[in-house]
Chains A and B, each alone.
Chain A
Amino acid sequence: MQFKGRVWKFGNNVNTDEIIPAKYLVTSDQKELSKHCLEIIHPQFPKRVKRGDIIAAGENFGCGSSREHAALAIKGAGISCVIAKSFARIFFRNCINIGLPISEEKELPESCSQGDILEIDLTKGFIKNLSTKKEFKTSKFPPFLQEIISSGGLMKWVKKKVIR
Protein backbone atom coordinates (compact mmCIF):
# COMPACT_ATOMS: atom_id res chain seq x y z
CA MET A 1 0.00 0.00 0.00
CA GLN A 2 1.65 3.19 -1.21
CA PHE A 3 0.45 6.76 -0.95
CA LYS A 4 1.76 10.22 -1.74
CA GLY A 5 -0.01 13.37 -0.64
CA ARG A 6 -0.18 16.65 1.22
CA VAL A 7 -0.36 16.78 5.02
CA TRP A 8 -3.31 18.12 7.01
CA LYS A 9 -2.18 18.51 10.62
CA PHE A 10 -4.40 17.97 13.65
CA GLY A 11 -3.73 17.90 17.42
CA ASN A 12 -4.55 15.49 20.25
CA ASN A 13 -7.95 13.99 21.12
CA VAL A 14 -9.70 14.79 17.83
CA ASN A 15 -13.07 13.17 18.52
CA THR A 16 -15.70 11.73 16.20
CA ASP A 17 -18.14 14.56 17.05
CA GLU A 18 -15.56 16.94 15.58
CA ILE A 19 -14.92 14.68 12.58
CA ILE A 20 -18.64 14.52 11.81
CA PRO A 21 -21.24 16.15 14.11
CA ALA A 22 -24.33 14.11 15.02
CA LYS A 23 -26.66 16.37 13.04
CA TYR A 24 -25.22 14.94 9.81
CA LEU A 25 -25.64 11.29 10.84
CA VAL A 26 -28.93 10.98 8.99
CA THR A 27 -27.00 9.39 6.10
CA SER A 28 -24.12 6.94 5.84
CA ASP A 29 -23.17 8.07 2.31
CA GLN A 30 -19.41 8.81 2.24
CA LYS A 31 -19.63 11.70 -0.22
CA GLU A 32 -22.47 13.38 1.63
CA LEU A 33 -20.70 13.02 5.01
CA SER A 34 -17.41 14.30 3.59
CA LYS A 35 -18.98 17.71 2.91
CA HIS A 36 -18.87 18.40 6.66
CA CYS A 37 -15.80 16.37 7.63
CA LEU A 38 -13.74 18.09 10.36
CA GLU A 39 -15.41 21.45 9.62
CA ILE A 40 -15.87 22.20 13.34
CA ILE A 41 -12.14 22.44 13.99
CA HIS A 42 -10.96 23.27 10.47
CA PRO A 43 -13.72 25.06 8.50
CA GLN A 44 -11.68 25.03 5.27
CA PHE A 45 -10.98 21.30 5.35
CA PRO A 46 -14.02 19.99 3.41
CA LYS A 47 -13.54 22.63 0.69
CA ARG A 48 -9.79 22.37 0.27
CA VAL A 49 -9.01 18.70 0.87
CA LYS A 50 -7.79 16.93 -2.28
CA ARG A 51 -7.91 13.25 -3.22
CA GLY A 52 -4.78 11.56 -1.88
CA ASP A 53 -4.17 14.02 0.99
CA ILE A 54 -2.93 12.63 4.30
CA ILE A 55 -3.98 13.40 7.88
CA ALA A 56 -1.22 13.60 10.51
CA ALA A 57 -2.61 13.87 14.05
CA GLY A 58 -1.62 13.58 17.69
CA GLU A 59 -2.73 11.16 20.41
CA ASN A 60 -6.13 9.44 20.69
CA PHE A 61 -7.38 10.34 17.19
CA GLY A 62 -11.04 9.39 16.69
CA CYS A 63 -12.04 9.21 20.36
CA GLY A 64 -15.64 9.37 21.55
CA SER A 65 -18.69 8.06 19.74
CA SER A 66 -18.51 4.77 17.83
CA ARG A 67 -20.03 6.33 14.69
CA GLU A 68 -18.44 4.65 11.68
CA HIS A 69 -19.62 7.72 9.80
CA ALA A 70 -16.41 9.42 11.03
CA ALA A 71 -14.15 6.98 9.18
CA LEU A 72 -16.52 7.08 6.19
CA ALA A 73 -16.45 10.90 6.08
CA ILE A 74 -12.63 10.90 6.02
CA LYS A 75 -12.57 8.22 3.34
CA GLY A 76 -15.22 10.09 1.34
CA ALA A 77 -13.11 13.26 1.53
CA GLY A 78 -10.43 11.41 -0.42
CA ILE A 79 -7.90 11.09 2.41
CA SER A 80 -5.51 8.30 1.41
CA CYS A 81 -4.08 7.53 4.85
CA VAL A 82 -4.36 8.71 8.46
CA ILE A 83 -1.18 8.82 10.54
CA ALA A 84 -1.55 9.49 14.27
CA LYS A 85 0.53 9.11 17.40
CA SER A 86 -2.28 6.87 18.65
CA PHE A 87 -5.86 6.01 17.73
CA ALA A 88 -8.95 5.50 19.87
CA ARG A 89 -9.85 1.84 19.58
CA ILE A 90 -13.34 1.89 18.00
CA PHE A 91 -12.16 4.33 15.33
CA PHE A 92 -9.15 2.07 14.75
CA ARG A 93 -11.46 -0.95 14.24
CA ASN A 94 -13.73 1.02 11.95
CA CYS A 95 -10.82 2.04 9.71
CA ILE A 96 -9.57 -1.55 9.46
CA ASN A 97 -13.11 -2.77 8.80
CA ILE A 98 -13.97 -0.29 6.05
CA GLY A 99 -10.50 -0.29 4.49
CA LEU A 100 -9.26 3.21 5.34
CA PRO A 101 -5.46 2.92 5.65
CA ILE A 102 -4.07 4.08 9.00
CA SER A 103 -0.75 3.93 10.75
CA GLU A 104 0.46 4.67 14.27
CA GLU A 105 3.68 6.66 14.28
CA LYS A 106 4.93 8.56 17.32
CA GLU A 107 7.39 11.07 15.81
CA LEU A 108 6.13 12.05 12.38
CA PRO A 109 3.04 14.04 13.51
CA GLU A 110 5.27 16.41 15.55
CA SER A 111 7.92 16.84 12.91
CA CYS A 112 5.77 17.55 9.85
CA SER A 113 3.98 20.76 8.90
CA GLN A 114 0.69 21.53 7.23
CA GLY A 115 1.17 21.09 3.47
CA ASP A 116 4.33 18.92 3.61
CA ILE A 117 4.40 16.17 1.01
CA LEU A 118 4.63 12.63 2.38
CA GLU A 119 5.39 9.38 0.65
CA ILE A 120 4.07 6.36 2.56
CA ASP A 121 4.65 2.67 1.97
CA LEU A 122 2.74 0.64 4.55
CA THR A 123 3.80 -2.67 3.00
CA LYS A 124 7.51 -1.90 3.28
CA GLY A 125 6.89 0.07 6.49
CA PHE A 126 8.26 3.56 5.90
CA ILE A 127 7.13 7.18 5.63
CA LYS A 128 9.26 9.77 3.82
CA ASN A 129 8.66 13.46 4.34
CA LEU A 130 9.70 14.76 0.91
CA SER A 131 9.52 18.36 2.17
CA THR A 132 11.98 17.87 5.05
CA LYS A 133 13.79 14.77 3.71
CA LYS A 134 13.17 12.96 7.01
CA GLU A 135 12.30 9.27 7.04
CA PHE A 136 10.30 7.25 9.57
CA LYS A 137 9.60 3.58 10.07
CA THR A 138 6.00 2.50 10.60
CA SER A 139 5.09 -0.42 12.78
CA LYS A 140 3.53 -3.32 10.89
CA PHE A 141 0.04 -4.56 11.65
CA PRO A 142 -0.15 -7.96 13.35
CA PRO A 143 -0.85 -10.82 10.87
CA PHE A 144 -4.52 -11.08 11.94
CA LEU A 145 -5.22 -7.47 10.99
CA GLN A 146 -3.12 -7.69 7.84
CA GLU A 147 -5.38 -10.51 6.74
CA ILE A 148 -8.51 -8.35 7.13
CA ILE A 149 -6.82 -5.42 5.40
CA SER A 150 -5.58 -7.49 2.47
CA SER A 151 -9.03 -9.08 2.08
CA GLY A 152 -10.36 -5.56 1.42
CA GLY A 153 -12.16 -5.01 4.73
CA LEU A 154 -14.08 -6.98 7.32
CA MET A 155 -17.14 -8.01 5.28
CA LYS A 156 -14.97 -9.47 2.50
CA TRP A 157 -12.87 -11.25 5.13
CA VAL A 158 -16.04 -12.60 6.76
CA LYS A 159 -17.27 -13.89 3.40
CA LYS A 160 -13.95 -15.60 2.76
CA LYS A 161 -13.17 -17.00 6.19
CA VAL A 162 -16.34 -17.45 8.16
CA ILE A 163 -19.24 -18.06 5.79
CA ARG A 164 -17.43 -20.18 3.20
Chain B
Amino acid sequence: MTITEKILAAHSGKKEVVPGDFILADVDLALGNDITAPAAIKEFEKAGGRKVFDPERIVLIPDHFSPAKDLESAQLAKRLKLFAQKQKISHYYELGRMGIEHALIPEKGLVLPGNLVVGADSHTCTYGAVGAFATGVGSTDLAAVFITGKCWFKVPATFKFIYYGKLPRWVGGKDLILYTIGDIGADGAGYKAMEFTGETIKNLPMDDRFTLCNMAIEAGAKSGVIEPDEIVWKSDADSNYSETREYDVRKIEPQVAFPPLPSNTKPIGKVGKILIDQVVIGSCTNGRISDLRIAASIMKGKKVKVRTIVIPATQKIYLEALREGLTEIFIEAGCVVSTPTCGPCLGGHMGVLSEDEVCISTTNRNFIGRMGSPKSKVYLANPAVAAASAIKGRIAHPEE
Protein backbone atom coordinates (compact mmCIF):
# COMPACT_ATOMS: atom_id res chain seq x y z
CA MET B 1 0.00 0.00 0.00
CA THR B 2 1.01 3.63 -0.48
CA ILE B 3 1.35 5.93 2.53
CA THR B 4 -2.08 7.37 1.69
CA GLU B 5 -3.72 3.94 1.59
CA LYS B 6 -2.03 2.96 4.87
CA ILE B 7 -3.28 6.07 6.68
CA LEU B 8 -6.82 5.62 5.36
CA ALA B 9 -6.85 1.90 6.28
CA ALA B 10 -5.57 2.62 9.79
CA HIS B 11 -8.32 5.21 10.35
CA SER B 12 -11.17 3.03 9.13
CA GLY B 13 -10.31 -0.14 11.07
CA LYS B 14 -9.25 -2.05 7.96
CA LYS B 15 -6.12 -4.09 7.23
CA GLU B 16 -6.11 -2.97 3.64
CA VAL B 17 -7.87 -0.54 1.33
CA VAL B 18 -7.63 -0.20 -2.44
CA PRO B 19 -8.40 2.81 -4.65
CA GLY B 20 -12.14 3.13 -5.22
CA ASP B 21 -13.17 1.71 -1.81
CA PHE B 22 -15.66 3.82 0.11
CA ILE B 23 -14.73 4.17 3.77
CA LEU B 24 -15.96 5.98 6.86
CA ALA B 25 -12.80 7.13 8.62
CA ASP B 26 -11.95 8.60 12.02
CA VAL B 27 -10.75 12.17 11.83
CA ASP B 28 -7.76 13.30 13.95
CA LEU B 29 -8.23 17.00 13.31
CA ALA B 30 -11.01 19.05 11.69
CA LEU B 31 -10.60 22.64 10.62
CA GLY B 32 -12.91 25.49 9.70
CA ASN B 33 -12.49 29.22 9.02
CA ASP B 34 -14.63 32.35 9.20
CA ILE B 35 -16.21 31.66 5.78
CA THR B 36 -16.80 27.91 5.94
CA ALA B 37 -17.33 27.17 9.65
CA PRO B 38 -20.42 29.40 10.17
CA ALA B 39 -22.25 27.34 7.50
CA ALA B 40 -21.08 24.15 9.26
CA ILE B 41 -22.28 25.45 12.63
CA LYS B 42 -25.69 26.18 11.08
CA GLU B 43 -25.92 22.58 9.79
CA PHE B 44 -24.65 21.20 13.12
CA GLU B 45 -27.40 23.04 15.01
CA LYS B 46 -30.07 22.26 12.44
CA ALA B 47 -29.29 18.54 12.85
CA GLY B 48 -29.78 18.90 16.59
CA GLY B 49 -26.07 18.70 17.43
CA ARG B 50 -25.41 19.56 21.07
CA LYS B 51 -21.80 18.63 21.77
CA VAL B 52 -18.95 18.27 19.31
CA PHE B 53 -17.28 14.84 19.20
CA ASP B 54 -14.04 16.14 20.75
CA PRO B 55 -13.34 19.85 21.40
CA GLU B 56 -9.56 19.20 21.30
CA ARG B 57 -9.71 17.90 17.73
CA ILE B 58 -11.45 20.91 16.22
CA VAL B 59 -9.61 24.03 15.06
CA LEU B 60 -11.42 27.27 14.26
CA ILE B 61 -9.46 30.13 12.71
CA PRO B 62 -10.91 33.46 11.55
CA ASP B 63 -8.36 34.21 8.83
CA HIS B 64 -10.15 34.89 5.54
CA PHE B 65 -11.99 38.19 6.12
CA SER B 66 -10.11 39.02 9.35
CA PRO B 67 -9.53 41.54 10.85
CA ALA B 68 -13.22 41.91 9.99
CA LYS B 69 -13.52 43.77 6.68
CA ASP B 70 -17.15 44.78 7.16
CA LEU B 71 -20.19 44.21 9.36
CA GLU B 72 -21.17 40.92 7.72
CA SER B 73 -17.71 39.40 8.14
CA ALA B 74 -17.61 40.63 11.75
CA GLN B 75 -20.82 38.65 12.30
CA LEU B 76 -19.30 35.52 10.72
CA ALA B 77 -16.23 35.77 12.97
CA LYS B 78 -18.48 36.30 15.98
CA ARG B 79 -20.37 33.08 15.23
CA LEU B 80 -17.04 31.24 15.20
CA LYS B 81 -16.02 32.72 18.53
CA LEU B 82 -19.35 32.03 20.26
CA PHE B 83 -19.38 28.43 19.02
CA ALA B 84 -15.80 27.93 20.25
CA GLN B 85 -16.74 29.30 23.68
CA LYS B 86 -19.91 27.22 23.94
CA GLN B 87 -18.18 24.00 22.83
CA LYS B 88 -14.98 24.72 24.81
CA ILE B 89 -12.84 24.48 21.68
CA SER B 90 -9.35 25.50 22.82
CA HIS B 91 -7.87 25.66 19.31
CA TYR B 92 -9.77 28.81 18.47
CA TYR B 93 -7.32 31.52 17.51
CA GLU B 94 -8.45 35.09 18.13
CA LEU B 95 -6.69 37.99 16.41
CA GLY B 96 -3.32 38.45 18.05
CA ARG B 97 -2.78 34.69 18.05
CA MET B 98 -4.41 34.13 14.66
CA GLY B 99 -2.42 33.22 11.57
CA ILE B 100 -3.31 31.87 8.14
CA GLU B 101 -4.68 28.44 9.01
CA HIS B 102 -2.35 26.30 6.89
CA ALA B 103 0.74 28.04 8.25
CA LEU B 104 -0.52 28.27 11.85
CA ILE B 105 -1.64 24.66 12.34
CA PRO B 106 1.75 23.07 11.50
CA GLU B 107 3.50 25.84 13.47
CA LYS B 108 1.46 24.84 16.55
CA GLY B 109 2.39 21.19 15.96
CA LEU B 110 -1.25 20.15 15.64
CA VAL B 111 -0.65 17.75 12.73
CA LEU B 112 1.58 14.67 12.99
CA PRO B 113 2.77 12.10 10.45
CA GLY B 114 0.09 9.48 9.85
CA ASN B 115 -2.76 11.79 10.95
CA LEU B 116 -6.01 12.14 9.03
CA VAL B 117 -7.03 15.78 8.74
CA VAL B 118 -10.04 17.35 7.06
CA GLY B 119 -10.61 21.06 6.67
CA ALA B 120 -13.40 23.12 5.21
CA ASP B 121 -10.83 24.84 3.05
CA SER B 122 -9.40 23.47 -0.17
CA HIS B 123 -5.77 24.13 0.79
CA THR B 124 -5.99 21.72 3.73
CA CYS B 125 -3.87 19.44 1.51
CA THR B 126 -0.87 21.50 2.77
CA TYR B 127 -0.33 19.13 5.74
CA GLY B 128 0.68 16.28 3.46
CA ALA B 129 4.10 17.91 3.86
CA VAL B 130 4.43 16.34 7.34
CA GLY B 131 3.26 12.93 6.11
CA ALA B 132 -0.41 13.26 7.01
CA PHE B 133 -3.44 12.53 4.84
CA ALA B 134 -5.09 15.94 4.66
CA THR B 135 -7.89 17.03 2.37
CA GLY B 136 -10.38 19.82 1.82
CA VAL B 137 -14.09 19.24 2.33
CA GLY B 138 -17.25 21.34 2.40
CA SER B 139 -19.16 22.89 5.28
CA THR B 140 -21.72 20.08 5.54
CA ASP B 141 -18.87 17.54 5.71
CA LEU B 142 -17.40 19.58 8.56
CA ALA B 143 -20.77 19.66 10.35
CA ALA B 144 -20.97 15.87 10.12
CA VAL B 145 -17.44 15.60 11.55
CA PHE B 146 -18.38 17.97 14.40
CA ILE B 147 -21.08 15.48 15.39
CA THR B 148 -19.51 12.11 14.60
CA GLY B 149 -15.74 12.57 14.35
CA LYS B 150 -15.97 10.70 11.07
CA CYS B 151 -15.85 11.53 7.39
CA TRP B 152 -16.59 9.50 4.24
CA PHE B 153 -13.96 9.05 1.56
CA LYS B 154 -13.40 7.27 -1.68
CA VAL B 155 -9.86 5.89 -1.41
CA PRO B 156 -7.85 7.77 -4.06
CA ALA B 157 -5.40 6.22 -6.49
CA THR B 158 -1.90 7.62 -6.03
CA PHE B 159 0.00 9.53 -8.72
CA LYS B 160 3.75 9.40 -8.01
CA PHE B 161 6.14 12.22 -8.85
CA ILE B 162 9.90 11.72 -8.69
CA TYR B 163 12.14 14.80 -8.64
CA TYR B 164 15.88 14.46 -9.03
CA GLY B 165 18.84 16.84 -9.30
CA LYS B 166 19.87 19.93 -7.37
CA LEU B 167 17.50 22.90 -7.51
CA PRO B 168 18.88 25.86 -9.46
CA ARG B 169 19.18 29.24 -7.71
CA TRP B 170 15.83 31.07 -7.24
CA VAL B 171 13.89 27.86 -7.85
CA GLY B 172 11.89 26.42 -4.94
CA GLY B 173 8.78 24.50 -3.90
CA LYS B 174 6.52 26.97 -5.70
CA ASP B 175 8.29 26.39 -9.02
CA LEU B 176 8.22 22.61 -8.62
CA ILE B 177 4.47 22.60 -8.08
CA LEU B 178 3.69 25.18 -10.79
CA TYR B 179 5.89 23.23 -13.23
CA THR B 180 4.12 19.99 -12.30
CA ILE B 181 0.62 21.49 -12.61
CA GLY B 182 1.67 23.04 -15.92
CA ASP B 183 2.71 19.57 -17.06
CA ILE B 184 -0.32 17.57 -15.95
CA GLY B 185 -3.06 20.24 -16.14
CA ALA B 186 -5.69 21.76 -13.82
CA ASP B 187 -7.33 18.34 -13.35
CA GLY B 188 -4.28 16.22 -14.13
CA ALA B 189 -4.42 14.57 -10.72
CA GLY B 190 -8.21 14.68 -10.41
CA TYR B 191 -9.51 12.64 -7.42
CA LYS B 192 -5.96 11.33 -6.80
CA ALA B 193 -3.31 11.59 -4.11
CA MET B 194 -0.12 13.22 -5.39
CA GLU B 195 2.94 11.62 -3.79
CA PHE B 196 6.05 13.77 -4.07
CA THR B 197 9.29 11.76 -3.91
CA GLY B 198 12.91 11.69 -5.03
CA GLU B 199 16.27 13.06 -3.89
CA THR B 200 15.25 16.68 -4.53
CA ILE B 201 12.33 16.32 -2.12
CA LYS B 202 14.51 14.62 0.52
CA ASN B 203 16.72 17.72 0.50
CA LEU B 204 13.84 20.19 0.26
CA PRO B 205 13.38 22.56 3.26
CA MET B 206 10.14 22.21 5.22
CA ASP B 207 8.66 25.56 4.08
CA ASP B 208 9.07 24.51 0.44
CA ARG B 209 7.44 21.15 1.19
CA PHE B 210 4.38 22.99 2.55
CA THR B 211 4.22 25.09 -0.63
CA LEU B 212 4.50 21.97 -2.79
CA CYS B 213 1.65 20.12 -1.05
CA ASN B 214 -0.43 23.30 -0.67
CA MET B 215 -1.09 23.53 -4.39
CA ALA B 216 -1.89 19.83 -5.04
CA ILE B 217 -5.55 20.96 -5.17
CA GLU B 218 -4.75 23.14 -8.19
CA ALA B 219 -4.15 19.91 -10.14
CA GLY B 220 -7.51 18.59 -8.90
CA ALA B 221 -5.85 16.30 -6.34
CA LYS B 222 -7.52 15.04 -3.20
CA SER B 223 -4.25 15.36 -1.31
CA GLY B 224 -0.53 15.83 -1.67
CA VAL B 225 1.88 13.90 0.47
CA ILE B 226 5.60 13.61 1.23
CA GLU B 227 6.92 10.70 3.26
CA PRO B 228 8.14 11.94 6.63
CA ASP B 229 11.92 11.86 7.13
CA GLU B 230 11.75 9.83 10.35
CA ILE B 231 10.13 7.00 8.55
CA VAL B 232 7.19 5.42 10.27
CA TRP B 233 4.69 6.02 7.52
CA LYS B 234 6.06 5.13 4.10
CA SER B 235 4.83 3.60 0.87
CA ASP B 236 5.69 -0.04 0.29
CA ALA B 237 8.12 -0.80 -2.53
CA ASP B 238 5.41 -2.77 -4.32
CA SER B 239 2.73 -0.05 -4.00
CA ASN B 240 0.39 0.45 -6.92
CA TYR B 241 0.58 3.84 -8.59
CA SER B 242 -1.92 4.95 -11.22
CA GLU B 243 0.84 6.88 -12.96
CA THR B 244 4.45 8.00 -12.35
CA ARG B 245 6.33 11.02 -13.69
CA GLU B 246 9.98 11.97 -13.28
CA TYR B 247 11.39 15.48 -13.45
CA ASP B 248 15.02 16.61 -13.68
CA VAL B 249 14.77 19.80 -11.62
CA ARG B 250 18.12 21.14 -12.89
CA LYS B 251 16.23 22.21 -16.01
CA ILE B 252 13.41 23.99 -14.19
CA GLU B 253 13.42 27.81 -14.27
CA PRO B 254 11.32 29.99 -11.96
CA GLN B 255 7.73 29.52 -13.17
CA VAL B 256 5.00 32.07 -13.82
CA ALA B 257 1.35 31.00 -14.10
CA PHE B 258 -0.61 33.20 -16.52
CA PRO B 259 -4.31 33.96 -15.98
CA PRO B 260 -6.80 32.37 -15.71
CA LEU B 261 -5.45 29.00 -14.47
CA PRO B 262 -2.55 27.86 -12.25
CA SER B 263 -1.77 25.25 -14.92
CA ASN B 264 -1.12 27.98 -17.50
CA THR B 265 2.61 28.15 -16.72
CA LYS B 266 5.66 29.49 -18.54
CA PRO B 267 9.30 29.59 -17.49
CA ILE B 268 10.29 33.14 -16.55
CA GLY B 269 12.58 33.36 -19.59
CA LYS B 270 9.55 33.14 -21.89
CA VAL B 271 7.27 35.58 -20.09
CA GLY B 272 8.04 38.74 -22.11
CA LYS B 273 7.30 42.28 -20.93
CA ILE B 274 4.34 42.39 -18.57
CA LEU B 275 3.76 45.62 -16.65
CA ILE B 276 2.21 45.29 -13.20
CA ASP B 277 0.23 47.46 -10.78
CA GLN B 278 0.51 45.40 -7.60
CA VAL B 279 2.61 42.71 -5.93
CA VAL B 280 1.41 40.44 -3.12
CA ILE B 281 3.86 38.37 -1.09
CA GLY B 282 2.13 36.11 1.41
CA SER B 283 -0.70 33.52 1.76
CA CYS B 284 -0.89 29.88 2.89
CA THR B 285 1.27 29.10 -0.15
CA ASN B 286 4.18 31.52 0.33
CA GLY B 287 3.84 33.56 3.52
CA ARG B 288 6.38 31.64 5.61
CA ILE B 289 9.62 33.02 7.04
CA SER B 290 11.88 31.59 4.33
CA ASP B 291 9.63 33.20 1.71
CA LEU B 292 10.02 36.58 3.43
CA ARG B 293 13.80 36.08 3.73
CA ILE B 294 14.08 35.48 -0.03
CA ALA B 295 11.94 38.53 -0.83
CA ALA B 296 13.91 40.74 1.59
CA SER B 297 17.26 39.57 0.18
CA ILE B 298 16.17 40.95 -3.20
CA MET B 299 14.56 44.17 -1.91
CA LYS B 300 17.36 45.16 0.46
CA GLY B 301 18.47 48.72 -0.24
CA LYS B 302 16.12 49.10 -3.21
CA LYS B 303 12.76 50.79 -3.82
CA VAL B 304 9.64 49.17 -5.21
CA LYS B 305 8.07 50.76 -8.31
CA VAL B 306 4.53 49.50 -7.67
CA ARG B 307 2.15 48.93 -4.75
CA THR B 308 3.58 45.96 -2.83
CA ILE B 309 1.81 44.17 0.01
CA VAL B 310 3.75 41.79 2.25
CA ILE B 311 1.77 39.53 4.57
CA PRO B 312 3.55 37.29 7.09
CA ALA B 313 1.32 34.23 7.49
CA THR B 314 1.36 34.05 11.31
CA GLN B 315 2.19 36.24 14.31
CA LYS B 316 5.31 34.16 14.96
CA ILE B 317 6.53 34.69 11.40
CA TYR B 318 5.71 38.41 11.71
CA LEU B 319 7.80 38.65 14.88
CA GLU B 320 10.68 36.70 13.35
CA ALA B 321 10.61 39.00 10.32
CA LEU B 322 10.73 41.98 12.66
CA ARG B 323 13.63 40.60 14.72
CA GLU B 324 15.63 39.63 11.64
CA GLY B 325 15.22 43.13 10.21
CA LEU B 326 13.13 41.94 7.25
CA THR B 327 10.18 44.19 8.11
CA GLU B 328 12.50 47.20 8.08
CA ILE B 329 13.85 46.21 4.65
CA PHE B 330 10.28 45.91 3.31
CA ILE B 331 9.13 49.24 4.73
CA GLU B 332 12.25 51.07 3.55
CA ALA B 333 11.71 49.59 0.10
CA GLY B 334 8.21 51.10 0.14
CA CYS B 335 6.12 47.99 0.85
CA VAL B 336 3.04 47.72 3.04
CA VAL B 337 3.45 45.06 5.74
CA SER B 338 0.14 43.65 6.93
CA THR B 339 -1.09 41.64 9.88
CA PRO B 340 -1.74 37.95 8.96
CA THR B 341 -4.81 37.46 6.76
CA CYS B 342 -5.85 35.55 3.62
CA GLY B 343 -7.30 38.94 2.51
CA PRO B 344 -6.15 39.75 -1.03
CA CYS B 345 -5.59 36.15 -2.20
CA LEU B 346 -9.34 35.62 -2.59
CA GLY B 347 -10.25 39.24 -3.31
CA GLY B 348 -11.52 39.72 0.23
CA HIS B 349 -9.75 42.85 1.40
CA MET B 350 -6.24 44.34 1.92
CA GLY B 351 -5.41 44.53 -1.79
CA VAL B 352 -8.45 44.03 -4.01
CA LEU B 353 -7.75 44.78 -7.68
CA SER B 354 -9.58 47.37 -9.77
CA GLU B 355 -10.55 46.96 -13.44
CA ASP B 356 -7.62 46.32 -15.78
CA GLU B 357 -5.09 46.14 -12.95
CA VAL B 358 -2.37 43.49 -13.11
CA CYS B 359 -0.91 41.76 -10.07
CA ILE B 360 1.91 39.29 -9.58
CA SER B 361 1.28 37.27 -6.47
CA THR B 362 2.85 34.44 -4.49
CA THR B 363 -0.66 33.10 -3.82
CA ASN B 364 -2.27 30.02 -5.37
CA ARG B 365 -5.07 31.00 -7.76
CA ASN B 366 -5.28 33.30 -10.77
CA PHE B 367 -8.89 32.62 -11.79
CA ILE B 368 -10.97 35.36 -13.47
CA GLY B 369 -11.91 37.90 -10.79
CA ARG B 370 -10.10 35.99 -8.03
CA MET B 371 -8.51 39.13 -6.55
CA GLY B 372 -11.22 41.63 -7.43
CA SER B 373 -12.55 42.94 -10.74
CA PRO B 374 -13.26 40.28 -13.38
CA LYS B 375 -11.23 42.56 -15.65
CA SER B 376 -8.11 42.40 -13.46
CA LYS B 377 -5.32 39.88 -14.06
CA VAL B 378 -3.30 37.76 -11.63
CA TYR B 379 0.04 36.09 -12.36
CA LEU B 380 1.41 33.52 -9.89
CA ALA B 381 5.09 33.12 -9.02
CA ASN B 382 7.56 32.44 -6.22
CA PRO B 383 8.59 35.15 -3.70
CA ALA B 384 11.90 35.88 -5.48
CA VAL B 385 10.17 36.62 -8.78
CA ALA B 386 7.48 38.67 -7.00
CA ALA B 387 10.11 40.77 -5.16
CA ALA B 388 12.18 41.35 -8.31
CA SER B 389 9.01 42.32 -10.18
CA ALA B 390 8.09 44.84 -7.46
CA ILE B 391 11.41 46.60 -8.00
CA LYS B 392 11.22 46.59 -11.80
CA GLY B 393 7.49 47.37 -12.10
CA ARG B 394 7.14 44.48 -14.54
CA ILE B 395 7.47 40.71 -14.23
CA ALA B 396 11.19 40.19 -13.75
CA HIS B 397 13.79 37.47 -13.15
CA PRO B 398 15.46 37.70 -9.72
CA GLU B 399 18.86 37.76 -11.49
CA GLU B 400 18.00 41.18 -12.95
A residues near B (Cβ < 8 Å) are 13, 15, 17-18, 21-23, 25-28, 40-41, 59-60, 63-69, 71, 86, 88-90, 93-94, 97-98, 142, 144-145, 148, 153-155, 158-159, 162-163
Q: How many residues of B contact A (CB 8 A)?
A: 52
A163 contacts across to B, CB distance below 8 A:
147-148
B22 contacts across to A, CB distance below 8 A:
142, 144-145
B126 vs chain A, min Cβ distance (A): 13
A158 in contact with B47 given A68-B139, A90-B138 (CB within 8 Å): yes
A68 contacts across to B, CB distance below 8 A:
36, 39, 120, 138-140
Q: Which residue of the partner chain, among B38, B65, B261, B374, contacts A40 with CB atoms under 8 Å?
A: B374
B70 contacts across to A, CB distance below 8 A:
26
B369, closest chain A residue (CB): A40
Contact call A63/B220, Cβ cutoff below 8 A? yes
The verdict on B347 contacting chain A, using a C-beta distance below 8 Å, is yes
Contact call A155/B144, Cβ cutoff below 8 A? yes
B39 contacts across to A, CB distance below 8 A:
28, 68-69
B306 vs chain A, min Cβ distance (A): 23
Alpha-carbon separation in the docked complex, A158 to B48 (Å): 11
A98 contacts across to B, CB distance below 8 A:
138, 140
Which chain B residues numbered 122 to 161 have a C-beta less than 8 Å away from chain A? Answer: 122, 124, 136-141, 143-144, 147-148, 150, 152
The 27 listed contacts between A and B (C-beta, < 8 Å) are A18-B367, A22-B348, A23-B348, A26-B70, A28-B42, A28-B139, A40-B369, A40-B374, A60-B190, A65-B121, A65-B346, A65-B365, A66-B120, A66-B122, A66-B137, A67-B138, A68-B36, A68-B120, A71-B138, A88-B190, A93-B141, A98-B138, A144-B22, A154-B141, A158-B148, A162-B147, A162-B148
The verdict on B270 contacting chain A, using a C-beta distance below 8 Å, is no
